[in-house]
Amino acid sequence: MKYILNNSILCHRTIEDGLIITITSQETIHVEEGEEELLTLLDIFSKPTSYEEAFTLVNEKNYISEGKFQEIFELLRTNNILKEYIEEKSSELSSYQLEKYKRQISSFNSLSGVEYYQSIEMQKKICNSCICIVGIGGTGSHLALTLASIGVEELILVDYDSIELSNTSRQVLYSEEDIGKLKMSVAEEKLKKYNSNIKITTYNVHIESEEDYSFLNAHKNISLLILCADTPRGKIQYFTDDYTKKNNIPWLMYGPFHHYQILVGPYLIPNKTRTYSDIFKQEKVSYDDQLESINKNFVASICDPYNGFASQFVAIEILKILTGFTQTSLLERRYYINTNTWVINYVDYAK
């Protein structure tokens, strides 16, 4: 077994306290003795090195008994400073992936209890995932860009609109030169500039019933569906719930509302959690011509920072879902975020 230094550690000296080591998710270590031997070992383990190799190398510079060496080694392992390194795991990602996502891999690797090879496995799970986003507007365009950037290598994008001038102030994938073009064509082109490995399938479809999701029957590997579309209002959630339930696809929804409010979740897994219809009973509503006429004046108003904040909140939870480095907070739970006061509340729907 070889070991490698956690590259999230920092060492510095102070006049009063001497050598200090800081490590992600651990308490600061104050080194009171054996500073020279410890620093020599940290330098040795900056490259993958076995226990035996390190013992030999450290004794070429400073004599140290095997008992003392083992004591320091255990200190390094216990305090998240040394990570197990399995070279074969690194080869599971291409050189392009290792270089592109090295900061992400390093971030996973910095966590206590996560070995270097496990951080590689986490990135591999992200790269191998397939995520469907329904609605590539204000929130969906932010989310698609983030998922492509973190390494999701298969996206299914669903929308039906052409780009208008008003889209360019709040839908991050579209610029003024794109006005008049189909959102799906522009989104695919832009996202591939951020991730050359990505496979993107687009559908220019307006979801108006559960049956309108039938094009997804051709995709048997969907890891997660994210609902970012909001029309037909009060209905599309139930169409999505019915389809995902029948096809065993985990899903969640989110979005801003009432200018400064944001809702996120719940994350639902068919046959494991309650369904959306179980949690939110669908009301039977009727409309007459007068109501329809009045409702035509409705404008879904929003400012872009709220789209971006909501989407990054969700992207963090997707990272948890895909990698498993910790449990998602959204399982059968909905968060409500008041961005005026930054008060966050949630409602649990699990039985």
Distance CA 155, CA 165 (A): 26
Q: What is the tens place of the pLDDT at every residue in 132-173? A: 999 999 999 999 999 999 999 999 999 999 999 999 999 999
Distance CA 337, CA 98 (A): 36
**What was the pLDDT predicted at 17?**
76
Q: What is the tens place of the pLDDT at every residue in 240-288? A: 999 999 999 999 999 999 999 999 999 999 999 999 999 999 877 666 7
Beta bridge partners of 273: none
The Cα 46–Cα 41 span in angstroms is: 9
Q: Which pLDDT score is estimated for 285? A: 63
Omega prior to 305 cis, within 30 of 0 = no
> What pLDDT is recorded for position 126?
98
Q: Which pLDDT belongs to residue 286?
A: 66
* N-term to C-term CA, the chain: 45
With a cut of 50, which residues of the chain have pLDDT below it? Answer: none
Task: Provide CB contacts within 8 A for 248, sequence distance 6+.
Answer: 270, 271
Give the pLDDT score at 283.
78
